[in-house]
Amino acid sequence: MNSRDRSFDGVALGAVFDRAQLVLGGNSVLRGVRWTIAPGERWILEGANGAGKTQVCKLLAGERWPTPTATVTTRRTRKGQGDGLRWTDAAGHDVDALEALPRIVHVSSEHQDRYARRDWNLKLRELIGTGFDRSDIPLRKLTRVESAVVTRAVRAFGLQALERRRFLSLSYGERRRVLLARAWVARPALLLLDEPLNGLDAKNRRQVQAALRVLLRRRCTVVLTTHRAGELLPGFTRVARMVQGRVVVANPSASPVATAATRGVRSLATEPVSPTGELPLPRPVLLALRQVDLYREWRLVLRGLDWTLHRGEQWGVVGATGSGKSTLLQLLHGTRWPAFGGSVQRAGHPAGTPIDDWKLRVGYVSPELQTLAVDDAMGAGSLRDLVVGGWRGSLGLDWPATPRERQRAQRALEAVGLGALAERYPREVSYGQLRLALLARALVRDPELLILDEPFTGLDAPTRERLRQEIERRVAAGTTLVMAVHHAGDLPGGTMRRLELRRGRVYFSPLR
């Protein structure tokens, strides 16, 4: 169905899971799911990392199909109906899959990463406009009416300043806002929002929530997954929870997410420390940045940065979505370099030394790294192989892991609760579980410096707390930490200082 066929606009779509099963890589992910979603309902779907939330959304979107079972396949099924899953209209009648699937929109981190993996560097308006045909890439030129709708979506999601940019030049959070704007113009009958506010700062979260409220006033069914109570939208009256591959319908008042109080936010002082962020501490210098100008896609992101990082310090990096946090952390890691005239001095790493030698001393986690980890061309292999790559400073293995490497990788996976999943591949685990594997990869060498870019994205509250304690343990043992966050409560205890990026400039302040 394209934009010229709007006969189904305003007609919500429901779904019925009837003992739906899903097996991936020989592992049972969903076990006899029973769940009825009536047209027009608004559902919160909860569950721990790896419980199956994302896989349920993929089934609803037709991106995966339930695994046939003897129990289901012996029964006579109707045309277009999946084994254990069917879509319904307001009267309760079945809707053929060929008719239902084009009316469903799914927004997730995996959809966002797909553009980077395939190098689809579309213009912002082009990408938003694909929502009319519900395609990934443009199929035709938009009409004047459609172009006006795109303009309204750009304004609704606060994207005016980015309108002339291309998608892959945007930050992780900016890309998420573009995909939400695309969903806004698509007018779906069933909208699936898998952690929709990941990567957004507080201001952008409020703006996106306001824009989504407008979308939700339309007649459509919505299923939303989130691990943070502060990201919920009003009007979601139904709660389901994934437990061991099954859906349990719960009372909203009993919902751990819907009723959880948000974690206390530390006071962020605003007085400067020094022009370079230096502290009056007798600690050796690990990194020194002098007169650094930093560009991304030919655009100046940071200018005139002077900053000294001492051994054993802990820094929180904050700033609006798109302010340059990820680009700065890539510079520290050695993935990017300053413009001519700026310098980055690394202790024990004289000029001319291969940058890979430095990276072996650093544990690094970022959304971009996660995108590469599921790219088949990178050959990351199993989760254990992925962690071994951290020991070698690579992503993917060019020769088999040694017994010692496998042992170290196994211990690192067990430390983050993934020991039993070591043989699984990145595409066979949830987004949050893959983020945990990347944290294990970062920690496997006991690095001198941890550079973490939104490391808790996609993780449930108990897992965030457990990993925060693990990071605090490493910091207490002397590990230097630089961690970019949008939620101040994600910073581990003991974090000393804040580095804030604001309009290309850096401001330093103590963190109380």
Domains of the chain: 39-61+102-254 (3.40.50.300), 315-321+355-510 (3.40.50.300)
Specify whether the CB–CB gap between 323 and 501 falls below 8 A: yes
pLDDT at 358 over 60: yes
> What is the tens place of the pLDDT at every residue in 253-275?
555 555 443 333 333 333 344 55
Average pLDDT over residues 137-153: 94
| Residue tagged 């109570």 (tokens) | 229
Q: What is the DSSP letter of 322?
A: T
Cβ-Cβ contacts under 8 Å for 403 (sequence gap 6 or more) = none
> Pick from 133, 187, 158: which is nearest to 3 by CA?
133
> What is the tens place of the pLDDT at every residue in 386-442?
999 998 888 888 888 899 999 999 999 998 999 999 999 888 888 889 999 999 999
The beta strand positions in 9-124, using DSSP E, are 14-24, 27-37, 42-46, 85-88, 94-95, 104-107
Specify whether the CB–CB gap between 365 and 455 falls below 8 A: yes
Specify whether the CB–CB gap between 231 and 194 falls below 8 A: no
Full strand arrangement of the beta sheet holding 238-243: 104-107, 190-194, 221-225, 42-46, 238-243, 246-250
Residue type, 81: Q
Residue-level pLDDT at 364: 94
Distance CA 317, CA 301 (A): 15
216: part of which helix (H) or strand (E)? helix 202-216
Across 9-23, 185-199, 218-232, 392-406, least confident range: 218-232
Average pLDDT over residues 85-105: 92
> Pick from 335, 241, 343, 364: which is nearest to 290 by CA?
343
